[in-house]
Amino acid sequence: MSATVLSIATMIALVILALALLLSVVRVIIGPSLSDRVLALDLLTVSAMGFVGAIAIRTGLTLYLDIAIALALLGFLATVGFARYILSRQLPRDAGAENQP
């Protein structure tokens, strides 16, 4: 009984998370600026983490949980790096006005 409920629930969750991944990919493609794309990539990492968690429940292999935690760490570091890149890409143009203390 509970195994059937678990199987159906993980299947529904996988479908919903696949839809969320698809919508995030649409925003990555059409995003007008780099910041929009970076934000959509951040959400893409979080939903991929949810996907891995749902697969961990479905297969019963809890080793997938470590993959999810590593994915969260990777997404955070990627967003921090992209924010630094966005900040440093623009600075040489108006470096004199921005960097005055």
Partner 1 sequence: MIADLMIYLGCAALLLGALFTLLAAIGVLRLPDLYMRMHAASKAGAVGGGLVLLAVALVCFDAAVALRAIIGIGFLLLTTPVSAHLLARASYRTGYHAHKLMEVDELKSKSGQTLM
Distances from the Cα of 69 to the Cα of 2, 9, 45, 65, 95, angstroms: 27, 22, 11, 6, 38
CA 14 to CA 2: how far, in whole Å?
18
CA 47 to CA 41: how far, in whole Å?
10
DSSP character string of 30-76: H-SSHHHHHHHHHHHHHHHHHHHHHHHHHH--TTHHHHHHHHHHHHH
* 46 forms part of the interface with partner 1 (CB under 8 A): yes
* Least Cβ distance, residue 83 to partner 1 (angstroms): 4
* 67 forms part of the interface with partner 1 (CB under 8 A): no
* 12 forms part of the interface with partner 1 (CB under 8 A): yes
* Least Cβ distance, residue 13 to partner 1 (angstroms): 4
Residue numbers at the binding site for partner 1 (CB under 8 A): 1-2, 5-6, 9-10, 12-13, 16-17, 19-21, 23-24, 26-27, 33, 35-36, 38-40, 42-43, 46-47, 49-50, 53-54, 56-57, 60, 62, 65-66, 68-69, 72-73, 75-76, 79-80, 82-84, 86-87, 89-90, 98
